[in-house]
Structure 1
Amino acid sequence: MPISLIPIRDALDIRPGRLFIDGQWRDWDGERFDQIHPSTNEVMTSLAEAGVRGVDLAVAAARRAFDEGPWPRMRAQDRKRMLQPIVERIYAAEEEIARLQTLDNGIPFSFSRNSRVSPKAAADIFDHFFGWIDKINGETYPLFSDASNTQYMTFREPVGVVAAILPYNGPVMTFAMKVAPALACGCTVVVKPSEYTNLAVLKLAEIIAESDLPPGVFNVVTGGSAAGAALSSHAGIDKVTFTGSPVVGEKITMASASSMKRLSLELGGKSAAIVFPDASSVATAATRLMGLCSTFLSGQVCSTPTRAIVHRSVMDEFLHHAAEQVKTVRFGDPFDPATTSAPIISKRQKDKILGYIDTGRREGAELMFGGATPGGDLANGNWIDPVLFANVRNDMTIAREEIFGPVLSVIPFDAEEEAIRLANESDYGLAGCVYTGNVNRAFRVARAIRSGSIGVNGYASIPNAPMGGIKRSGVGREGGWPTIEAFTELKTISFNLDG
């Protein structure tokens, strides 16, 4: 019998979505759209299509709150006291938020509640950035010469009105990574979740709406590409922070150019994992890398290492253990504890991934396993069996373009210099990792790879360390103090001490 999420939807009492603008929830009299669950392609609810009109209302509210309201000028202690309760409210509601995130994108509930995209992780992110509020400071500079008796000092001021445009794969975590630092720095915010994943974000909005924030400081609009385009090009927006595809990132960059908006863009990746023969465990490397592509979000994570650059001498061992890992994969009801993997977010994306698989075979890559679309109880969902390609060349399409699905491409190498060259021959530079038992080699190769983040014998991210990309993988960093810098402007003031 095909799985259905309608009973869980009804048990969670999912209502039609509204907009949150200027401190008020607003029923929308304009167009609406359906949110579809990728596991079953059932309708979960309808959402307001804010479009240009809704965006104009939200930006106007945020603009007033920044230009005329108390928020940007509030004392650090007062702002911190007002925001800090949000952390505990998220912790208190974490199970419900996790359920809503699973009802958004199909991530297995066990991951939605206990992983780096969980509500608990989001609460930690809020806690981290709220801790910066009374520590955002400038500098003073020594007198430079006898030419003038002038004292220079700098101040960090909020960047202004922020448009936060979220992806579908980790809506809860990315909400926190964008909203928390913006509020901590004294900015006002307009959030737009992905059109595929609105439920958890709207619940988080309810939590923030319970706070005593001045009207207009925090706003949420829902909608598709029209709303996103209206936000990124709006004259009232000072900064856009976006996580998503490079194609959309390029459009945002062009739309922002005329007004010189500040940008933080975390875009795509084609990350490389280099596996040397002296790795402490080739089996562990293979299991982890194949697991990142086959479980959790099924490769729909921009930092996932989707190119495994493996030394020829351990190639057979790597392929064997990758195949063993896939035997543990289980599709099904995302609320079933046995389910390990998310579906593909939409039918369109599913078809795109299947096209990449066909291209890989046509260009000569060796399909070791995977690529089928399960039938039976899963026939109504967007499922693809995890794929492993061997003997991939770095000039093949599947090694060059971001597939954003359960596909791992394995590229052989013979020498360290060759592995580094293969890793760097990419338009992307977001993340990557090196598996080796040699500390000198680990450090040498990690420094040589052109990427924003590199892991040694694994890869992870935390709220207080920066992450971001180079090349087509984006602009700026999220995490730690660099994020505070990204949401503030540096002002220099000089005092002539001679009067």
Structure 2
Amino acid sequence: MEDLIMEARAELGLRPGRIFIGGRWMDWDGPRFDQVHPANNRVMTCFADVGERGVDQAVAAARKAFDEGPWPRMPAQDRKRIIQRFIERIYTAEELLAKLQTLDNGIPYTLSLATRVSPKAAADVFDHFAGWIDKINGETYPRFSSTSNMDYMSIREPVGVVGAILAWNAPLIMFALKVGAALACGCTVVVKPSEYANLAVMKMAEILAESELPPGVFNVISGGASTGASLSSHRGVDKISFTGSATTGERILAASGTNMKRLSLELGGKSAAIVFPDVHSIASTANSLMGLCSSFLSGQVCSTPTRALVHRSVFDEFVHHAVLQAQSVKLGDPFDPTTTSAPIISKGQLNRILGYVESGKREGARLVCGGRQPGGTLANGNWMEPALFVDVKREISIFREEIFGPVLCAIPFDREEEAVRMANDSEYGLAGCIYTTDVRRAFRVARAVRSGSIGINGYASVPNAPMGGVKRSGIGREGGWSSIEAFTELKTIDFNMDV
């Protein structure tokens, strides 16, 4: 397995990463860090850890480009043409970007190339936001009173300098959602990828750097937690768009008060799927829900339903098929087309997930399958067999806390109201699913579950629909017109018609 990963590394000629500030690539003269591959913990290359000094330089370039440059004031047609040409370049580099993403986070290459995290999906996001550029408008308002001859209108203006801090699990889509919306609205951007996944983002930056963007409109830096903290607290930044853990989101929220930054925070989740006995197929439902935890990114997606609330009359059947699905996954070389699942992103996260497996058993839940580290050729990587728990009480940690790994809890219920109470018994509220063929019940339960989005007989996100959470799952929405609102400020203009 290591040979194929290292062959891909050699084929792509990975070099120490640079940073892009003020329209030019720079070699960093300060500290660096290694990026390792989670499938074998071998070093891929190294990147700059720019810290406060690098953040200051990047923000200064973005600030100058916004305050003095043409981008925020450029005609919509011109801005749109620049981004459209960038989209075509993404298609040209599609296979390369997918390989780099696989070398970032270990997602199987076939999935990196052809799923909702693919380069094509990222191009679709940019295309969607490019379509908004000449449609960002305000409103006019009817005269309110006869005592004054005042007319009113509103316009939307770019929010300013944006700090975009990306998650490691879907770097291409995260880049597109944040950078695409910001550029469409006329903002300038400083991007910081996750320290675990820089390769695909840096290639996207190279492609964008070849476009006709004025210097300083787009900047990309790299680094760890201290670099992210410096960017999120910088007084020259007007908005932070962050995807990641709730704990980090809380720190960003506290730091934003220094200059009242605008925030888009997509944070953690503990999503519930409610399975009613009238579903079309218990087997396919179990395969789908267990598959979201065991395949693809191995449950390392914040919207993944990790609590399956299943009607008691079909509970045993559901568990049977979920076990079969978990046992069917193939862990291994991410460039092997038969591999179904990604490794855990780091040793620290693997140990954290294994700790939850042990705490679940210790607190009385029953482990039906998985929850172990495989040996043999996988021993050097961050691999884990997907786990399924039953006999899960609502007060224990695996029911309540975000694990962010291949662990599914299955809990029976008897009444609809009971299922809704369990689904809402969480400090998170990002997503969820309802499985039923009763349309009235589907909409009734969807309205009752407190989450930012809810799927009925399936779940998927698309560029033109909003995505985000309630409660501890975040602030704001990404996607569609919601992103345009998030990256603009609304200004009201009053006209005195008597002058």
Which residue does the alignment assign to 2:288? 288
Question: Given the alignment of the two structures, is residue 159 of structure 1 paired with residue 159 of structure 2, yes or no?
Answer: yes
**Distance of aligned partners of 1:187 and 1:225 in 2 relative to their CA distance in 1, 3 Å threshold:** same
Residue 438 of structure 1 aligns with which residue? Answer: 438
Partner of 2:24: 24
Distance 2:358 2:147 in 1: 70
Specify the alignment match of 2:178 in structure 1.
Answer: 178
Equivalent residue number for residue 56 of structure 1? 56
Q: Which residue of 1 aligns with 2:337?
A: 337
Deviation at 1:82, TM superposition (A): 1.6
Distance 2:152 2:333 in 1: 61
CA distance in 2, matches of 1:99, 1:437: 40
Q: Deviations over 1:257-289 (max 9, x none)?
A: 121000000000000000011111111110000
1:86-140 superposed Cα distances (whole Å, 9 cap, x missing partner): 1110011011000000000000001100110000000000000010000000000
Residue of structure 1 in register with 2:116 after alignment: 116
Where in structure 2 are the equivalents of 1:477-492 lying within 5 Å? 477-492=477-492
Query: Matches of 2:83 and 2:301 in 1, distance apart?
Result: 30
Counterpart for residue 414 of structure 1: 414
**Match for 2:441: what amino acid?**
R
What residue number does 2:320 align with? 320
Q: Equivalent residue for 1:100?
A: 100
> How big is the shift at 1:4?
5.5
Change in 2 beyond 3 A, CA 1:3/1:420:
farther
Structure 1 partner of 2:351: 351
In 2, distance between residues paired with 1:326 and 1:238? 45
Does the 8 Å contact 1:331/1:341 carry over to 2?
Answer: yes
* TM-score, reference length from structure 2: 0.99
Mapped partners of 1:55, 1:253: distance in 2: 19
Partner AA of 2:93 in structure 1:
A
1:268 — aligned with what? Answer: 268
Say whether the 8 Å CA contact 1:181–1:484 is kept in structure 2. yes
Query: How far 1:35 sits from its partner (Å)?
Result: 0.2
Give ranges in structure 1 of 5+ residues lacking alignment: none
Instruction: Note the residue ranges of structure 2 that are not aligned, 5 or more in a row.
Output: none
Residues 122-166 of structure 1: CA deviation (Å, up to 9, x unaligned) = 000000001000000000000011011101000000000000000
> How far is 1:337 from its partner?
0.2
**Post-superposition CA distance 1:157-194 (Å, at most 9, x none):** 00000000000100000100000010000000000000
The one-letter amino acid paired with 1:396 is I
Work out whether residues 235 and 258 of structure 2, in 8 Å CA contact, stay in contact via their aligned partners in 1: no
Q: Could you say what secondary structure the match of 1:169 adopts?
A: coil
Task: Give yes or no for contact 2:4–2:335 (8 Å, CA) kept in 1.
Answer: no
In 1, the alpha carbon distance for the partners of 2:25 and 2:147 equals 59
Q: How many matched pairs?
A: 499
Q: Give, in angstroms, the shift of residue 83 of structure 1.
A: 1.5
Give CA deviations for 1:422-463 in whole Å, capped at 9, x if unaligned. 000100000000001101100100010000000000100100
Match of 2:454 in 1: 454
Q: Counterpart in 1 of 2:472? A: 472
**1:198 maps to which residue?**
198
Q: Following TM superposition, by how much is the alpha carbon of 1:374 offset from its aligned partner in structure 2, in angstroms? A: 0.7
One-letter code of the match for 2:43?
Answer: V
Query: Does residue 148 of structure 2 align to residue 148 of structure 1?
Result: yes
- 2:328 counterpart letter in structure 1: T
2:251 pairs with 1:247: no
2:391: which partner in 1? Answer: 391
Q: Deviations over 1:364-416 (max 9, x none)?
A: 11100001101110110000100000121222100100000000001111100
The answer to whether 1:311 aligns with 2:311 is yes
The equivalent residue for 1:37 is 37
Q: CA deviation at 1:323?
A: 1.0
Offset, 1:327: 2.6
Identity rate, percent: 70
Per-residue deviation, 1:2: 5.8
Give the Cα separation in 2 of the matches to 1:140 and 1:4.
Answer: 60
Partner secondary structure for residue 464 of structure 1: coil
Q: What secondary structure is seen at the aligned counterpart in 1 of 2:410? A: strand
Alpha-carbon offset, residue 84 of structure 1? 1.0
Amino acid at match of 1:143: R
Name the SS for the 2:179 alignment partner. Answer: helix
Give 2:352's aligned amino acid: K
- What residue is the counterpart of 1:235 in the other structure? 235
Displaced runs of 4+ in structure 1, greater than 3 A?
A: 1-4
Counterpart amino acid of residue 26 in structure 2: R
Q: Secondary structure at the match of 2:46?
A: strand
Report Cα offsets for 1:26-57 as digits up to 9, x if no partner: 00100000000000000000101111111100
Kindly provide the CA deviation profile for residues 324-378 of structure 1, in whole angstroms up to 9, marking residues without a partner as x: 1123200111000010000000000000000000000001111000011011101
- 1:274-306 superposed Cα distances (whole Å, 9 cap, x missing partner): 001111111111000000000000000000000
**2:189 touches 2:218 (CA, 8 Å); kept in 1?**
yes
